[in-house]
Chains A and B, each alone.
Chain A
Amino acid sequence: MSTYHRPVSNTWWLKQKSYFLFMIRELTSVFVAGYCIFLLVLVYKLTQGADAYGNFMAALKLPISVALHLITLIFVLYHTITWFNLTPKILVLYRGEDRIPQGLVAATFYAGWVVVSIIVAWLVLGV
């Protein structure tokens, strides 16, 4: 008997909100990776002397650099929030027969994020 195989269109991820949000989450990885490379370049410039570093920092103040940083920030925030929200699915903890609430597991990660952010802000702004 001949069966019928339904084709999958290239736009399958546009047909449902959850698929679309998943694809955005995947796309955010590109920005996370891109920013890691940027930080490595920043460290490299630092090793090349004061002039090279100064020129690089000046270039970062251009509107296009600021705009790119803002776009990256939005994507990285989306990446972080979606992954923190998914973490309790993977990190399943029990106290006896009772599962530790998923919200509590996620909240621990958010709390860690806040603490690290405060430390970074103190290092950057406070010194």
Chain B
Amino acid sequence: MAETMQLEIFRYRPEKESVPSFQTYEVPFREDWVVLDAINYIKDEIDGTLSYRWSCQMGVCGSCGMMVNGVPKLSCAVFLKDYHPNKIRIEPLTGFPVERDLIFEMNDFMTKLKEMQPYIIRKEGEERSLEEGEYIQSPAELAHFKQYSMCINCMLCYAACPVYALDSTFIGPAAIALGQRYNMDSRDQGRDARQEVIASHDGIWECTFVGECSAVCPKHVDPAAAIQRAKVSSTVDWFKDVLIPWGKKK
């Protein structure tokens, strides 16, 4: 008889229950299956009512983040064989309100991302027209921020952050890392505008450097480092303001 494996999945159907429960499913065990394959099997063959998000199945879209045995993972990038023969517990990403089963509400993250203005901002009158061509950047200048530009907005870092779980007003790892990505981009001139959000009460100073955001990041963005570096820059700003009040901030 073919080997099987058990998946214990978080269920929440707001039209019929006010408190979530767990439902256990038995799926075939296959060496080459990732957790998402097993969940797709459940949806197709066992229980069509199970709701979850997924798309590319190759670690690029960032849609299929879930808690796998309590750890935030992209379910398309984690193999069943790493847990076999034990049961796997699947839950929606921690820290977010649950809409249905494994689907959580991401409006909060979207709002914060927008506030961060994650795009190149130029000062008035310093924008280049199409005829003038692109902004030139050296490979060395690119190397300084490239790591932070690899974010796929999967929100695993938020699920790993105990600060965000306890106080969701915190801007959070991915949004700050993306702000820092543009602040460090030699073509950008929008740091002052972003600083109002980054250095605000709910920004970098909420972070206590737990470091789990970086540990779970599937793209090795290292948001914890981005946040600490933003703290250093903001502290330098403060000292400049206090010690050289007549000096102009760069």
Residues of A near any B CB (own CB < 8 A): 1-6, 8, 12-13, 15-16, 18-19, 22, 26, 86, 89-90, 92, 94, 96-99
Q: A86-B209, A89-B228, A92-B225 are in contact. Are A4 and B12 (CB under 8 A)?
A: yes
The distance in angstroms between the C-alpha atoms of A57 and B112, with both chains bound, is: 56
Residues of B near any A CB (own CB < 8 A): 12, 14, 18-20, 70-71, 94, 97-99, 105, 139-140, 143-144, 162, 165-166, 208-212, 214-215, 222, 224-225, 228-229, 231-232
Q: Are A94's CB and B143's CB within 8 A?
A: yes
Q: Are A18's CB and B215's CB within 8 A?
A: yes
Pick the contact of B162: A2, A13, A96 (CB < 8 A).
Answer: A13
Q: Are B229's CB and A92's CB within 8 A?
A: yes
Q: Which residue in chain A gives the minimum CB-CB distance to B216?
A: A18
Q: Are B143's CB and A99's CB within 8 A?
A: yes
The distance in angstroms between the C-alpha atoms of A83 and B209, with both chains bound, is: 10
Number of A-B residue pairs, CB cutoff 8 Å, is 67
Q: Are A89's CB and B143's CB within 8 A?
A: no
A-B contact list, 9 entries, CB within 8 Å: A4-B14, A6-B94, A6-B98, A16-B71, A16-B212, A18-B215, A89-B214, A94-B144, A97-B140
Contacts of B210 in A (CB 8 A): 18-19, 22
Q: Are B165's CB and A19's CB within 8 A?
A: no
Pick the contact of A3: B71, B105, B228 (CB < 8 A).
Answer: B105
A13 to chain B, nearest CB (A): 7
Pick the contact of A16: B14, B20, B70, B99 (CB < 8 A).
Answer: B70
- Chain A interface mostly: mixed
Q: Are B165's CB and A97's CB within 8 A?
A: no
Q: Are B208's CB and A26's CB within 8 A?
A: yes
Q: Are B97's CB and A3's CB within 8 A?
A: yes
The distance in angstroms between the C-alpha atoms of A16 and B144, with both chains bound, is: 32
Q: Are A8's CB and B70's CB within 8 A?
A: no
The distance in angstroms between the C-alpha atoms of A97 and B97, with both chains bound, is: 42
Q: Which residue in chain A gives the minimum CB-CB distance to B146?
A: A97
The distance in angstroms between the C-alpha atoms of A22 and B207, with both chains bound, is: 13
A81 to chain B, nearest CB (A): 15
